[in-house]
Every structure is written in C-alpha cells, then in structure tokens.
Amino acid sequence: MNTRPLALVTGASRGIGAAVARALAPTHDLLLGGRDADALSALAAALPGARAWAVELTDPDALAAAVAGIDRLDVLVHSAGVGMLGTVEETPADTWRRQFDVNVVAVAELTRLLLPALRAAGGDVVLINSGSGLTARAGWGSYAASKFALRAFGDALRAEEPGLRVVSVHPGRVDTDMQRDVVAHEGGEYDASRYLRPDSVAAAVLAGVTASPDAHLTEIIMRPTR
C-alpha cells in the first residue's frame, strides 16, 4: 500500500515550481501542474511518483474536471503566476485583469475546489508570493496589487481553516525566466549571481511543509545576500 503523501505543485514546468517539485519528490508523490504538457511529462519522467497534471488554471470548467478524484491532498503549492510590469499610466485594464485572474482568482478557485481533500489530510497550502506582496514600487503597481491580494487571501484562509497550515513565501528576486524579462524591461544587464536560486526558494517551501506539527511557518521572507 502506498503511504507517501501527495503534493500538487502548480507552475511546475520550470523555475520555482520545478525546483519545489524536485525538493518534494524524495518524500511525496506529485501532481505537476502547468500548461506545458511536454515539459511536465519530461519532469515527471525524472521524478519517481510524479505525473503531469496539465490544466489551464483560469478555465473553471477544466479546473473542476482536473481535480475530480482527488479526495486527499497533503500539500498544495501555488507557484504559477505572471508578472507584467508598467506604470499606472501604461497599464490597461486587461493587464490588471490578467494578473489578478492568474495570481489570485485561479489560486482561490483551485484551493476552494481542493479544500475537502486538504481537510481530509490536515494539509499544507503554500503560496509563492513575492517581495512585491509586501512593498509596492513604481512601475510594479498591477503586479504588486495582485500579490498584496494573494497575501490577503492567505491570511483569510489561515483564519478560516485552522486545521490547515497556510504558508506565504515572499522571495526577493529569483533567477528565473520571468526575472530575465523583468531585467530586460528595466533595461539592465542580467547577472544571475545577484538573485536567489529557485532551489533556495524550494528549500524554504520544504521547511514550511516539514515543520514539526506544533509549528506553523505563516510567512517566510527571503532576500538575496548580494
């Protein structure tokens, strides 16, 4: 009988999500969430007990169908997200809607659908947030607003579901494809050594979900050392 706990990681095809999946793989069976079915299948082939879980998170019908049959879930890691930058003057309504749809609404809906499975396991919900969920800067308005909302969602879920542990992880800049896009937008030169590694963020996630039963790491704030 398989007794390994089950974890679902969204955004698992690359970056932080893939690093979290690799960190959890030695102890958890995995559902690897994302839209790139080929990348998810390749990662699943490299991780024992993992399988691809390709779904468009912003499609409510597809999401409801994808979670059918998940009756117990030990860990839910929300790593999928988008980051579109621009000043308030430059940012149209469609950008605001897209960022909130992916970064907040999809997170809330997936969590809502999986609450019975999470309650059955007394599970952990991990929200990969951002330093922008704590402080908003010029040019980051719509992205930061979505991350502030994600932080509020985590606070509300934590208060409403005392049987679950809800961990908000707020990393500073991380060496990912999205970070490369950000630096290009800013007109800077990319230097990966200046940023956190995805594996470092994954280690923080692992600390949150493997903490002793008497401990609840509600917020983890990380910054690069450089």
Tell me which of 53, 140, 143, 153 is the catalytic residue.
143
143 is catalytic: yes
3-state per-residue secondary structure call for the chain: CCCCCEEEECCCCCHHHHHHHHHHCCCCEEEEEECCHHHHHHHHHHCCCEEEEECCCCCHHHHHHHHCCCCCCCEEEECCCCCCCECCCCCCHHHHHHHHHHHHHHHHHHHHHHHHHHHHHCCEEEEECCHHHCCCCCCEHHHHHHHHHHHHHHHHHHHHCCCCEEEEEEECCECCHHHHHHHHHHCCCCCHHHCECHHHHHHHHHHHHHCCCCCCCCEEEECCCC
The residues that are catalytic are 143
